[in-house]
């Protein structure tokens, strides 16, 4: 059987949320969002899951997730450690924050040798997103030809605070440019973000954004290593405790250098996510409604796949 891997970014500290939100129960049978993503991925044809976590969280992940899904899919843990870097630097002993999602993706290099998708642990992407990504990985991915699933900004914000989104520019269904925009907020019937001068600017609610659902060939790893090494050399010294590098920035750098192409895949499903604890009731209600509509069984892991 052709190997198709789903990599899940689950090593974040959840500072805005206030806890380990990656495995926080939100389903009617105590499922986390990851449960639903893995279920959808298996239905779409994925047969291996790589969970990027912090080593100290392994027991918790195995108890509430790994032990449930092993009968249905291959499960591998990858540990995001500050010392596992492609370019040696002196790491501040007080640093606890992970290096960001570029580094998280990079550290899976030793456990992934096939085309793979990578997603956030705390985002619900919808069934169709996994179907279109699986099709791309089976039929179109090449050594430097990748993909992302795109969403509209207005469907990815929260009523409970600001969000950071990777805003995209595209042409003919291919990504041309991607920029991380911080402090985006819903203001009445429109959206604004705080610019570098501390002023609020409008941003189009229909703007295309990435929610970190990427499709890659394993040849991406040397490219990520190069980009991340430049970050370690040039940027960490200015903010040794908090500096991080994220996948949209890595993709944008590689696009600017004309080293890759990124096809934009679309999904009609609605995105849901948990940035703040106050987001949880809405997500729980949405997932309950999907179960009531029989899009999911009550117990995700008690049926025969």
Segment 280-294 mean pLDDT:
94
CA distance 192 to 201: 5
| Position 210 confidence tier, pLDDT thresholds 50, 70, 90 | very high
* Torsions phi, psi for 151 (to 5 deg): -135, 165
Q: Phi-psi category of 162—alpha, beta or left, where left has phi over 0 and alpha has psi -120 to 50?
A: beta
CA distance 205 to 215: 25
Cα dihedral 183, 185, 191, 193, rounded to 10, equals -20
CA distance 75 to 70: 6
CATH value of 5-142+210-246+269-292 in 3.90.550.10, 3.40.50.620, 3.90.470.10, 3.40.140.10: 3.90.550.10
| Contact yes or no for 97/241 (Cβ under 8 A) | yes
pTM: 0.92
CA distance 82 to 96: 8
pLDDT at 15: 45
pLDDT at 175: 97
Q: 17 vs 73, which has greater pLDDT?
A: 73
pLDDT at 268: 78
Q: Is the dihedral of CA 76, 3, 168, 184 positive or negative?
A: negative
DSSP assignments along 6-21, one per residue? EEEE-----TTTTS-G
| Contact yes or no for 220/259 (Cβ under 8 A) | no
């Amino acid at each position: 059987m052709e190997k198709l891997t789903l990599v899940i970014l689950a090593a974040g500290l959840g500072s805005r949320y206030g806890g380990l939100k990656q495995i926080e129960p939100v389903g009617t049978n105590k499922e986390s969002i990851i449960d639903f993503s893995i279920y959808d991925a298996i239905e779409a044809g994925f047969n291996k899951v790589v969970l990027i976590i912090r080593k100290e969280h392994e027991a918790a992940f195995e108890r509430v997730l790994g032990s449930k899904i092993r009968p249905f899919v291959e499960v591998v843990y990858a540990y995001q450690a500050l010392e596992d870097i492609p370019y040696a630097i002196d790491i501040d002993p007080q640093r606890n924050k992970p290096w960001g999602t570029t580094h998280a993706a990079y550290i899976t290099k030793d456990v992934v040798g096939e085309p793979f998708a990578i997603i956030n642990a705390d985002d619900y992407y919808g069934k169709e997103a996994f179907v279109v990504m699986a099709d791309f990985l089976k039929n179109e991915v090449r050594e430097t030809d990748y993909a992302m699933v795109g969403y509209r900004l207005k469907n990815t914000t929260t009523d409970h605070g600001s969000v950071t989104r990777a805003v995209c520019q595209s042409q003919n269904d291919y990504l041309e440019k991607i920029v991380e925009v911080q402090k985006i907020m819903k203001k009445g019937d429109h959206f604004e973000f705080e610019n570098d001068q501390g002023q609020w600017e409008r941003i189009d609610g229909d703007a295309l954004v990435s929610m970190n659902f990427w499709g890659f060939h394993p040849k991406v790893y040397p490219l990520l290593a190069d980009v991340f090494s430049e970050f370690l050399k040039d940027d960490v010294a200015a903010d040794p405790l908090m500096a991080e590098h994220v996948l949209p920035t890595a993709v944008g750098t590689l696009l600017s250098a004309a080293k890759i192409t990124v096809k934009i895949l679309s999904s009609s499903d609605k995105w849901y996510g948990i940035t703040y604890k106050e987001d949880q009731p809405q997500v729980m209600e949405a997932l309950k409604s999907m179960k009531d509509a029989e899009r999911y069984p009550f117990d995700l892991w008690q049926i025969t796949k």
